[in-house]
Amino acid sequence: MGIINVLEPVIVRMPSVKRPKKHVPFRKKLYWTLGVLVLYFALTNVTLYGVNVQGDLFGQFRSVLAGAQGSILHLGIGPIVTASIVLQLLDGSDMLPIDTNEPRGQALYQGLQKLLVVIMAVLTAAPMVASGFLQPATGMGLPPNIMAFVVFLQVALGGVLILYLDEIISQWGVGSGVGLFIIAGISQQIIGGLFDWSMTGGAAGIADLSTGLLFRWYQIFSGGYDPGFALTSGDGFWFLMTYGGQILFVLTTILIFAVVVYAESVRVEVPLSHSRVKGARGRYPVKLIYASVLPLIFVRAIQANIQMVGQIVYSQGFQPAWFAVYEQGQATSGLMYYLTPINSPYDWMWFLPIGPDQATWQILLRLGIDFLVLTIGGAIFAVFWVETADMGPDSVAQNIQQSGMQIPGFRQNPAVVEKVMDRYIPQITVMSGILLGVLAVLANVLGTIGNVTGLGLLLTVSITYKIYEEIAEEQMMEMHPMMRKVFGDE
């Protein structure tokens, strides 16, 4: 707490978006949300001034980290996610004794998070420029060192700017900005994966076409492309299922959508009754996806930082064979290869014409490591998230007690309610982390439309479902103003 006291003058003066003094009408929230979304898309098309981009260190993780390569939002939500991980670890290990139930504690916590985002943006942007992945262009009329600082400043400011876009959505819009930006980027990829009609190649085969699914089918069945074998043969089957017709990708996308929507509706409902108002009853829902998909974002963010550090270290001359061998920005062997996530069938289907070149045991080892990282990491971060977000049994028991509710048949005592909640919340939290990890790996292994990665698809479905629920809640409060007091919106 001593460090917090020392930093308090800086923390409490961190710029912030002004909170609305009264209820914001739903229509106005939509305007703010759409306005920020348009601004986000505009900023992803604003290229960095005086930069030669030598490679995208976050290329495999763009579906999760949002942003756009070479734009002012090059870092995406990476600094926000990394800062959240640091705060979670500090809070979970009781190294951050800040009482968020008090106004001063809330201000300190929010200010500390913003300060950490600024620090993470600086710590991420600096090595990108120093290692040459964001190389200052020559002939700009400025000394190289000054030009490098200009590039660094743009990237770091973009990482901070997206924080305040997120805060505008949280205070004045619908949902969260982080979720909205992820949906925006992934939806763009899915739409492109379906309807993109542009063709960048053709002589080398349909695998080299940057085209949408519908155009692929048109080319195949109109005779515009001859794969060199009958579509009814074994090779033709895999061709239609994967890199040619992508039928498997369509089926996987539909399956993940259906499973996540179903899982969002599965819940254990603990009955509640009011201790003083006779006949007043309710239920506390413990959803199957209790911890949401955020823990998996944390896992992928850690992997993204590991991969970034690995590429930077390799580019600076640390190149032993056991560490990594990179070809065209991708690790092809060594430790960094095994720590690279599986993002599509092309990363492991060695029996395909465009499959990987590694030995079968190497591919399976990489697949197994990715499975363990997502499932075990998802479960661990789910437990951390539930505890730090005040969703654990003790916090839920206190909230129920303060609302005047109790569990029928049990004494009105927080310790008693906590024991009841302890039967469900910890187990469901771990189950949700493992389930989402399995779904993410399954989608990555089988492929998705637009190659958005399994986690990207999970995020899109889950966040969209939550935004739908929030919109329904907002509409209900607009129709019944008294409900705003029930939800604490006034």
Residue 268: pLDDT over 70: yes
Mean pLDDT, the chain, rounded, equals: 82
Among 44, 50, 57, smallest CA distance to 128 is for 57
Q: How many residues are recorded in the chain? A: 490
The packing angle between helices 78-92 and 360-388, to 10°, is 60
| Residue 60 burial (C-beta neighbours within 10 Å; 0-12, 13-18, 19+) | buried
Residue 155: pLDDT over 90: yes
Mean pLDDT value across residues 146-167: 92
The packing angle between helices 213-221 and 177-195, to 10°, is 10
Rounded Cα distance, 208 and 211, in Å: 9
pLDDT digits (tens, 9 = 90+) for 365-415: 999 999 999 999 999 989 888 887 778 888 888 888 777 777 777 777 788
Helical segments of 131-176, H only: 144-172
Residue 14, C-beta contacts closer than 8 angstroms, at least 6 positions apart: 111, 114, 115
Q: Two tokens at 406?
A: 């109790």
Contact 84, 163 (CB under 8 A): no
Contact 23, 478 (CB under 8 A): no
pLDDT digits (tens, 9 = 90+) for 347-363: 888 877 777 888 899 99
How does residue 479 score in pLDDT terms, banded at 50, 70 and 90?
A: low
Residue 23, C-beta contacts closer than 8 angstroms, at least 6 positions apart: 477, 484, 489, 490
Annotation: CATH topology of 1-174: Preprotein translocase SecY subunit (1.10.3370)
Does the CA dihedral 123-127-129-135 come out positive or negative? negative
State how far Cα 395 lies from the chain centre: 26
Residue 286: pLDDT over 70: yes
Rounded Cα distance, 165 and 227, in Å: 47
How does residue 33 score in pLDDT terms, banded at 50, 70 and 90?
A: very high
Indicate the SS3 state at residue 334: coil
What per-residue confidence (pLDDT) applies to 202? 43
- Partnered with residue 51 across adjacent β-strands are 136
Cβ neighbour number for residue 472 with a 10 Å cutoff: 10
Give the single-character DSSP code of 173: S
Domain coordinates in residue numbering, the chain: 1-174, 216-490
What per-residue confidence (pLDDT) applies to 1? 52
Q: What is the percent of the chain where pLDDT is above 90?
A: 18
How does residue 207 score in pLDDT terms, banded at 50, 70 and 90?
A: very low
Rounded Cα distance, 20 and 172, in Å: 7
Q: What is the percent of the chain where pLDDT is above 70?
A: 90
Question: What is the helix (H) or strand (E) element at residue 246, kind and residue range?
Answer: none
Residue 146: pLDDT over 70: yes
Q: Two tokens at 63?
A: 């579906």
Rounded Cα distance, 417 and 406, in Å: 8
pLDDT digits (tens, 9 = 90+) for 304-359: 889 888 888 988 888 898 999 888 778 889 999 999 988 888 888 887 777 788 88
Mean pLDDT value across residues 133-154: 85
How does residue 487 score in pLDDT terms, banded at 50, 70 and 90?
A: very low
Rounded Cα distance, 402 and 325, in Å: 58
Q: Two tokens at 157?
A: 């400011």
Residue 489, C-beta contacts closer than 8 angstroms, at least 6 positions apart: 23, 477
CATH class in words for 216-490: mainly alpha
Among 341, 37, 279, smallest CA distance to 175 is for 37
Question: What is the helix (H) or strand (E) element at residue 233, kind and residue range?
Answer: none
pLDDT digits (tens, 9 = 90+) for 90-100: 776 667 777 76
